[in-house]
Amino acid sequence: MKKKKMGRRNRAAVVVLGDFGRSPRMQYHALSLARQANLEVDVVAYGGSDPHAAVLENRSIHIHEMKQWLRALRHLPKLFSPLILLLKPLFQIFMLMWFLCIKIPAPDVFIVQNPPSIPTLLAVQWASWFRRAAFVVDWHNFGYTLLGLSLGRSSWFVRIYHWFEKHFGRMADGALCVTRAMQHELAEKWGITATVLYDHPPEFFHPASLEEKYKLFCRLKKNIIYPYGIRDCVSMGTMGTSTSDSNDTLFTTQVGTEISLKMNRPAIMRLRLKHVAFRTMWLPAEDYSLLLGSADLGVCLHTSSSGLDLPMKVVDMFGCGLPVCAVSYPCIEELVKVEKNGLLFSSSSELAVELLMLFKGFPGECNLLKLLREGALETGSSSR
């Protein structure tokens, strides 16, 4: 990191031009800076989803919510698109400069999430100069590759975005990145020296106890067993449970004070693929970690626009001792070790074969699933 002359303020600013509640890596940065470095942390981001309770309850973390670009303007005719394309970043840069240069106390360092790059990198670079603070970019991915998914890599706007991202990224005093593959790309093609900081699961990701599983499935009972149509395999009574029995869930049961897993419970997911039920729920952060800790297997469909980033959700799964079947792409093996903590697949037929293999004999033997679970738990425990 380049050195800047400044007084020690014992303060850091974490900047996210997005929903902070949906940025787990930046939440973990804030927690680490507050807990391990004993710093006061100012988070400047958009609101929306609630961050984890551990972030909200930490008295050293101060969250400052910026106002978002007026959503009503999104519905204007396409004739106004060029004007909106100009006005939106101007509005965003004004909001960023107001918070970073005036509203929050001067920090020792600004840590900014990238992407998005425009206008975030420019605003934070200006703010770091004005407040005599260090400027660190945390590279999650490349913004121009994400933009290229919708506009195409040959678009003039994507080329401008690429230049902007590279130019202002190189002006930072330091850089973090998520994989060794990205570190190599930044060094060879961008002239940026970055430190690899792998995502690690915090302590609230852990295998759920029987009591935690029971209470979670009681809370989610109606969402899980409510029939989503006449052919839904998880309908009232079909799977041996009903909404009237308050001590009974699809996966657990309670007799007196004793809680146990059902022997006829389905796997999350189940062997007979014609009897698979899909449930999509938006959960509070606390229930999300409990759901992972209660599951039998995780499936990750993440594919990278750059081929250089890793899925945060798999890190969460390993923290809960949950093995994963993940889509294969160039750098995924930095995280998923085949036949140690998970498996990789490149097609739906490969995933089907893996599911059949892993859940053969469920919930009894399943030796490979048990082996992968041990490996996932070891990976999660060693990387905290």
The answer on 259 and 189 residing in a single domain is no
Whether 357 maps to a domain, the answer reads: yes
The answer on 181 and 273 residing in a single domain is no
The answer on 260 and 151 residing in a single domain is no
DSSP-assigned letter for residue 106: P
Whether 353 maps to a domain, the answer reads: yes
DSSP 345-383: ESSHHHHHHHHHHHTTTTTT--HHHHHHHHHHHHHHHHT
The answer on 255 and 149 residing in a single domain is no
The answer on 154 and 112 residing in a single domain is yes
- Cβ-in-10-Å burial (0-12, 13-18, 19+) of 8 comes to exposed
> Contact 114/165 with Cβ under 8 angstroms?
yes
Whether 202 maps to a domain, the answer reads: no
Query: pLDDT digit of tens for each residue in the chain (384 aa)?
Result: 554 555 588 999 999 999 999 999 999 999 999 999 999 999 999 998 899 999 999 999 999 999 887 665 666 666 666 676 678 888 999 999 999 999 999 999 999 999 999 999 999 999 999 999 999 999 999 999 999 998 888 899 899 999 999 999 999 999 999 999 999 999 999 999 999 999 888 888 888 888 888 888 888 777 666 655 555 555 544 445 555 556 677 677 777 677 777 776 766 574 445 566 677 777 887 888 898 999 999 999 998 899 899 999 999 999 999 999 999 998 999 999 999 999 999 999 999 899 989 988 777 778 899 999 999 999 988 766
The answer on 166 and 35 residing in a single domain is yes
CATH code at position 84: 3.40.50.2000
CATH code at position 364: 3.40.50
The answer on 273 and 332 residing in a single domain is yes
Range of the domain at 229: 210-235+247-382
The answer on 150 and 117 residing in a single domain is yes
The answer on 176 and 63 residing in a single domain is yes
The answer to whether the predicted template modeling score (pTM) of the entire model surpasses 0.85 is no
| Rounded Cα gap, residues 232 and 337, in angstroms | 35
The answer on 223 and 172 residing in a single domain is no
Whether 204 maps to a domain, the answer reads: no
Whether 2 maps to a domain, the answer reads: no
- Cβ-in-10-Å burial (0-12, 13-18, 19+) of 254 comes to middle
The answer on 129 and 268 residing in a single domain is no
The answer on 179 and 269 residing in a single domain is no
Number of domains in the chain: 2
Residue that is last in its domain, among 196, 223, 257: 196
Give, to the nearest 10 degrees, the angle between helix 81-98 and helix 120-130. 30
